[in-house]
Amino acid sequence: MDKFIVIGTGVFGLSAAYHIRQRWPTAQLSVISQPSRLAPSDDISKIVRVDYNNSERMTEAVRAQEQWKGNNFSTLQRSIGRIVIYEQDDLATLEKINNARDELGLQRRQRGDSTLMQEFETIMAPKSLTYILAPDDSIVDWETCMSDARGRAKKACTDSGGTFYESGGATIVKDGARVTALMLENGERIEAGSAQVVLAVGPWFAQMLAASDITLPPNGRTPVATGLFSYAVQLNDEQAAFFRDRPMVSHSGKGSVGKLTWIHPFTNLHGSTISLVEDLSESALAKSHMHKAIEWARTDGVTETQDPIIARHPQFQNLVCAAGGSFNRAKDLPTIGSIVADVLGGQDVSERYSWEPETRHSHRNHSHLVARGDFATMEKEAQQHGQDSVADHSSLAVI
């Protein structure tokens, strides 16, 4: 193989480009890059955590973590640990995580209590919840990481005699059993008949195949674009210094463990000289502050099994698909591309990555991140009933 074209410069595409270059150093590498602020990989920070409920995924996370600590990326991550807070009905998950950790000979997560939160000087940590400290989890300065990785991919293209295209791929042109060309949004045509093409466009995967009139994977294996709203919190220097080396906190339950405060003070006079203390949390003003704080709606490609698809397209000899999962593959940036390279090289990979796995797994890692409905229906409901329609069922979580 002497020519590769990777479409997409998110986690999968960049990792694939890196591993292709390592494995086939004399091959020509080209990359088609069109970053988007809606993409899961274009985030501000990411967690590298090692607490999955099955040993296979845990093994991958351990391998990825070793790379984060040892390779070019090590200066971008900080091992500050993470406090994970479990509701009573979530403790079964903790038990599964500990079973998986036992299997791999890793230390069990020890149950602690709300005193773990003392270093945040908070009085808001309910005593009824279970707190554990995951000391080996780390946080990555993700914007810098992505920008470095894209810089490296660009250099790899130039060094190998290929091109780093900064325009989106519009359609894939095919003839018989081969992809023959790629049309870019700027009208450019890239010949691809003699290349291996890697399609790594995350949640845009189905859109791109459909636009090219190419068969999608079977139901459940096509990554479904699944969105959620993110809120960015702007800290001042003092606050940033306070939080910088303290552990991250994750909590996907209902209890209050932290608060976000919008500094936009107001009085409440009702036309009198005496200002009233009132609960204004349901007011339009409160909602509009919340609304302004929404920085983006970010989307990931979620497959039914929550395992990505990393497989050759059954109808096209030179098209490999690499996308999907469920909100947890950023940590695999140093490693996931080696699986893409295995597929390109004709090696066997775990069947859970295949086009159509024989075993049907359930939602294994992130059951709370399965879509709860379609946007159009949920939006209509929100318009009719205001925030009550979703508030009862939503939780604030760090993922």
Ligand X SMILES: Cc1cc2nc3c(=O)[nH]c(=O)nc-3n(C[C@H](O)[C@H](O)[C@H](O)COP(=O)(O)OP(=O)(O)OC[C@H]3O[C@@H](n4cnc5c(N)ncnc54)[C@H](O)[C@@H]3O)c2cc1C
The amino acid at 56: E
Give me the least distance between CB of 133 and ligand X, in Å please: 18
Site membership for ligand X, residue 203 (CB under 6 A): yes
Other C-beta atoms within 10 Å of 145: how many?
24
At 323, list the tokens.
Answer: 């996308």
Count of positions (residues) in the chain: 399
State which of residues 162, 169, 247, 253 lies at the interface with ligand X (CB under 6 A).
169
Cα distances (angstroms) measured from residue 377 to each of 371, 373, 383: 12, 7, 10
Kind plus residue range of the DSSP H or E element containing 23? helix 11-23
Q: Could you give the angle at which helices 55-70 and 91-103 cross, rounded to 10 degrees?
A: 70
Residue with smaller CB distance to ligand X, 11 or 341? 11
What mask, x for binding ligand X by CB under 6 A, covers residues 326 to 355?
-xxxxx------------------------
**Contact status: 366 vs ligand X (CB under 6 A):** no
Q: Which two tokens stand for residue 241?
A: 């210094």
- Distance between CA atoms of residues 166 and 352, nearest Å: 33
Cβ of residue 203: shortest distance to ligand X, in angstroms?
Answer: 6
Residue 372 φ then ψ, to 5°: -95, 5
DSSP-assigned letters across all residues of 169-223: EEEEEEETTEEEEEEETTS-EEE-TTSEEEE--GGGHHHHHHHTT-PPPPTTTSP
CA-to-CA distance for 181 and 189, rounded, in angstroms? 7
Measured CA to CA, the distance from residue 371 to residue 227 in angstroms comes to 8
**Amino acid at the residue 322:** A
Question: Pattern 239-278, binding to ligand X, x per CB under 6 A?
Answer: ----------------------------------------
In the bound state with ligand X, the residue whose beta carbon lies nearer, of 22 and 45, is 45
Q: How far is the CB of 185 from ligand X (least distance, A)?
A: 7
Structure tokens at 299: 């989307």
The residue from 5, 43, 52, 164 that contacts ligand X (CB under 6 A) is 43
Applying the rule CB under 6 A, the residues between 280 and 319 that interact with ligand X are 298, 300-301
Which is closer to ligand X, CB of 138 or CB of 318? 138
The only residue of 11, 125, 206, 311 in contact with ligand X, by rule CB under 6 A: 11
Q: Which is nearer to ligand X, 35 or 258 (CB)?
A: 35
Binding ligand X (rule: CB under 6 A), the pick from 56, 230, 368, 381 is: 230
- Kindly indicate which of the ranges 30-38, 249-257, 352-360, 372-380 contains the residues binding ligand X, using the contact rule CB under 6 A: 30-38
127: helix, strand or coil: coil
Binding residues (CB under 6 A) for ligand X: these are 7-13, 32, 34-36, 39-41, 43, 46-47, 168-169, 200-204, 208, 230, 298, 300-301, 323, 325, 327-331, 399
